[in-house]
Every structure is written in C-alpha cells, then in structure tokens.
Amino acid sequence: MFDSLFAILAIALYAAATVLMSMYIRSVKHTQDRGNLKIITSFLLGCLAAACHVAYGLNVSFISSNLNLSLSSMVVLMSGMLVMLFLLGGLIMPIRRLGILVFPFTILSLVFALLWGDQMTPIQNRSFAFSAHIVISLLAYCVLAIASIQALLYAYQERQIKSRTNPAMLLALPPLQTMELLLFRLLGIGFIVLSLTLISGAVFSQQIFGHAFAFKHHTILASLAWIVFATLLFKRFKHGLRGSSAVIWTISGFLLIQLGYFGTKIVSESLSVQ
C-alpha cells in the first residue's frame, strides 16, 4: 500500500505538469518564448513526478535484489526510464514540449500497472550478458518511444500548417524542419540501440540456451521492427523520405516492439491467471 502512494503521487504530479504544459501551449505568443514560467514549472513538476515514479519502480521491479520481469513491473520500469530520458533530453534538446504527450502516456502506464496488479516473475540470472541485454533493451524501447511521440507531434504540426486551425500549437512547437531533424536524430539513436539489443540478446541466448537465435514471438517481432527502422533510415538517406510516410514507418516499427513484449506478456499473464 505504501508503494502505491508513490505511484499515486507521481500520477498527480504528472497530471499537474500536463495541465501546465497545455496552458503554456494555449497561451504562447512567440516561438522563442522559452523562459515561460508555465513550461519551466511543468518541467520541474515532471522531475518531482519522476522521482516518485523511480521510488515506486524500485520497489515493484526488484524482489530481494532480483529483477521482476512481470508485465506491471516492466511497464513501470520502462515508463520511468522513458520519462527520465525525456527530462534529461529536455536539458540539451528542444523537446520539453513533448511533455504534452509523454506525461499523459506515463500516467496511463502507472494506472495500468496499479490496475493490473502484481504477478511476481523474479529472475535470478545476474550474468553480465543478461544484465547488459535488459538495460540496452529498455534504452532501445525508451528512445524509440520518444521518437514515436515526436513523430505524432510532427504529423500533427504538419497537418496544422496545412489547415491553420490551431495557430497556438504551431507557435508553441519548433519549426517543422527542426522537428523533422530531431525525429530522424532520435530514430538513428534508437536504431543503433535496437541493433545492440538484438546482438546482446543473441549473446545471452548463446550463453544460456546454446544457440544465438530463439524463434519466439518477441524475438521475431523485434527483428521485424529492426527491419522496419532499417528500411526507414535507408529510404531517408537514399530517397529523402519525410512527412507522413516517415511517421507511418516510425509508428509501425514501434508498434511491432510494443506487440513483441507487452502483447505477448499480456497474453501469457492472462492465461496464467485462468
């Protein structure tokens, strides 16, 4: 019950940060208005929420120093790492406005974890290959999640430029060219980390099972996602792919990753309850 209080407090702080970010977007009058009190306060509330989130995550994701790989635990851990990467990135890149989507997504993740409940799946394997694989996998998911959120905002901004129905949102976001450059920068980083995930997974599988590639749902779907992102970046480099086509490729690849882990986890844990 005490652990849940951290989650509830984090949800409340994320909600407050989302409201302030929304107020900032509605009231902004100039694209260079980066010192606005609302966006700074929203960012600081996000940092406080992330601290509560991490406190909750450490309690549910580790059992007697062993990593808990249950669905609710991984949702909390991944969403926590996602928001931490977003906050760190916000210090050096113009992505703070992504909080309008990152914070609500994190709220939904915590609510899901609370409602789904705990199904303990502690893993005692502490080999270097396994630890490296878990950390790299989480990083890959989080970077590509931020890239997908960036893609959604990019698509929304592109549509608003054509229809001009929400000028406040246009003023609150960086120029479209900057948004596109940031999207492909995130995709490039995410693709590299995803490649390392597949390599580390092969090394771990070789050490534990004696073969480098296991034909399991999450492995196949992660490999398909790698192919999607590789094709996207190749099309970008060779043919200058951009706009809605790039967004569709990005979201498709991320959905494969989502389905690869969370989809199979939901099915397996649902069947285990029955």
Q: Which residues contact 14 (CB under 8 A, 6 or more apart)?
A: 45, 46, 49, 103, 104, 106, 107, 110
pTM for the predicted model, two decimal places: 0.77
User: What pLDDT is attached to residue 274?
Assistant: 47
Distance in angstroms (rounded) separating the CA atoms of residues 215 and 93:
39
- Using the 3D structure, point to which of 84, 100, 120 is the last residue of a domain: 120
Judgement on whether residues 108 and 129 belong to the same structural domain of the protein: no
Domains held by the chain: number: 2
Judgement on whether residues 235 and 261 belong to the same structural domain of the protein: yes
Judgement on whether residues 222 and 272 belong to the same structural domain of the protein: yes
Judgement on whether residues 48 and 130 belong to the same structural domain of the protein: no
Domain that holds residue 18: 1-120
User: What pLDDT is attached to residue 94?
Assistant: 74
Judgement on whether residues 140 and 273 belong to the same structural domain of the protein: yes
Judgement on whether residues 133 and 249 belong to the same structural domain of the protein: yes
Judgement on whether residues 7 and 137 belong to the same structural domain of the protein: no
- Using the 3D structure, point to which of 65, 97, 120 is the last residue of a domain: 120
- Using the 3D structure, point to which of 68, 98, 120 is the last residue of a domain: 120
Taking residue 216's Cβ as centre, other Cβ atoms within 10 Å add up to: 12
User: What pLDDT is attached to residue 260?
Assistant: 74
Q: How many CA atoms lie less than 13 Å away from 106 in the CB half-sphere? A: 39
User: What pLDDT is attached to residue 248?
Assistant: 94
Judgement on whether residues 38 and 170 belong to the same structural domain of the protein: no
Judgement on whether residues 185 and 228 belong to the same structural domain of the protein: yes
Distance in angstroms (rounded) separating the CA atoms of residues 84 and 95:
13
What is the per-residue pLDDT across 127-158, written as a single tens digit (0 to 9) for each? 666 767 788 888 898 899 999 988 998 998 88
Judgement on whether residues 154 and 246 belong to the same structural domain of the protein: yes
According to DSSP, residue 164 is labeled: -
Judgement on whether residues 115 and 135 belong to the same structural domain of the protein: no
Residue 64 tokens, joined: 């007697």
Under-70 pLDDT residues of the chain: 1-2, 28-35, 63-66, 118-129, 131, 164-172, 204-216, 262-274
DSSP string computed for 66-122: EEE-SHHHHHHHHHHHHHHHHHHHHHHSS-GGGHHHHHHHHHHHHHHHHHH-----E
Judgement on whether residues 35 and 49 belong to the same structural domain of the protein: yes
